[in-house]
Structure 1
Amino acid sequence: MIRLAATALLGLATLPVSADELGYEAYVDSPKRIKCLYGYVTAKTGNFDAAKAIFEDCVARWNDVYSMISLAQMYESGSGMEPDLSKSAALLKKGAEQPDDASYVSLARYHWGVALAEGRGVEADSVAARHWLQRAAAGGQEEAEEYLRQLDHSDTTAPITQ
């Protein structure tokens, strides 16, 4: 059994693979949605140009919420680009407004609620912040519940509405 597995692995090692297929740039123009996850790894390795291109394409093709969040974080931190809190906020808002069944929508709602609460890239709006944080919490984001508790602690007169 071990010999069979070793033979199979050696067979894979002899398949012709170009260097381009191993680099993240190979995923920039890929029509496969799996590339959206590669964008994260690409950014973590410091290839911000490729990551930005991947995320932008995933947003344009599939309205991919994960890519919206990741690209927003790049704009906020200035990873590979000038920081732009307005662009970051716009992407978070777009992600938060996606349908309830979209992957990562609760996480986008959390980040959008925080941006509204702190005035990051948008005018601070505590009422709207609570709305989005409550929606995120309803979607299972524990961070949103904690942030709401912090808001309640800092402003005991502001009621939480459902």
Structure 2
Amino acid sequence: MKNIYLVIAAISLLFAIRPVSAQHEDDSANTSELSYESFVTSAKPIKCLYGYAAEKVGDHDAAIAIFEDCIERFNSVYSMIWLAQIYDTGVGVPRDEKKATALLKRGAMTNDEAGYSSLAQYHYGVALIEGKGTPADRAAGEAWLTKASEAGVQEATDYLSSLPPSSK
């Protein structure tokens, strides 16, 4: 989870570089190479962080394009989680819980160096238990939550603790 602090710092930097009010300026005349717009078509892995900035300023199309490309190019679990959230909430796209859960499952099954796989495991485990975008499967959900808990995701530990005893 040490990497989460690096991500937060990077995101803070993104907002310092690209304030929300700047999205209303004429970007066609002078787009900074540090703006998220310049990363939509970039081949640099850092673009995945810029997808978050694009989503937070309401540019859903750019965020989706960035996250989809990061998933295709880099198998970015970070992008899978964010894109899953977009589809789960239906912000900027039609709501699609099945697509969201499929992205979380893919992320849960990926072993990334940054540690986002454990977050995907947590979210996928919850989806399985709650039957969100997938048929409910408590045993499989508990297995994914246990894996996330063992990787240090406190939310997974808390969720497991809050479950009523199984009626097996």
TM category (shorter chain) comes to 0.7 to 0.9
For these two proteins, the number of residue pairs brought into alignment is 140
Would you say 1:116 and 2:136 are equivalent positions? no
Q: What is the aligned partner in structure 1 of residue 64 from structure 2?
A: 52
- The Cα of 1:41 is off from its aligned counterpart by 1.1
Residue of structure 2 aligned with 1:18, choices 22, 30, 50: 30
- The Cα of 1:85 is off from its aligned counterpart by 0.3
* Aligned-partner Cα distance in 1 for 2:49–2:113: 19
* Aligned-partner Cα distance in 2 for 1:56–1:143: 26
* Aligned-partner Cα distance in 2 for 1:102–1:49: 26
Q: What is the aligned partner in structure 2 of residue 28 from structure 1?
A: 40
Using structure 2 for the length normalisation, give the TM-score: 0.78
* Aligned-partner Cα distance in 1 for 2:156–2:82: 18
- Superposed counterparts of 1:70-149, under 5 Å: 70-99=82-111, 101=113, 103-149=115-161
In structure 1, the gaps of 5 or more residues are: 1-16
- Contact 1:72 / 1:92 at 8 angstroms: preserved in 2? yes
* Aligned-partner Cα distance in 1 for 2:66–2:30: 20
In structure 2, the gaps of 5 or more residues are: 1-28
* Aligned-partner Cα distance in 2 for 1:121–1:37: 26
Using structure 1 for the length normalisation, give the TM-score: 0.81
* Aligned-partner Cα distance in 1 for 2:34–2:108: 33
Matched residue SS, 2:155: helix
Residue of structure 2 aligned with 1:65, choices 43, 62, 77: 77
Q: CA RMSD in A?
A: 1.7
- Structure with bigger gyration radius: 1
Q: Residues 107-135 of structure 1, C-alpha deviation per residue, up to 9 Å, x if partnerless?
A: 00000000001111000000000000000
* Percent identity of equivalent pairs: 52
- The Cα of 1:49 is off from its aligned counterpart by 0.3
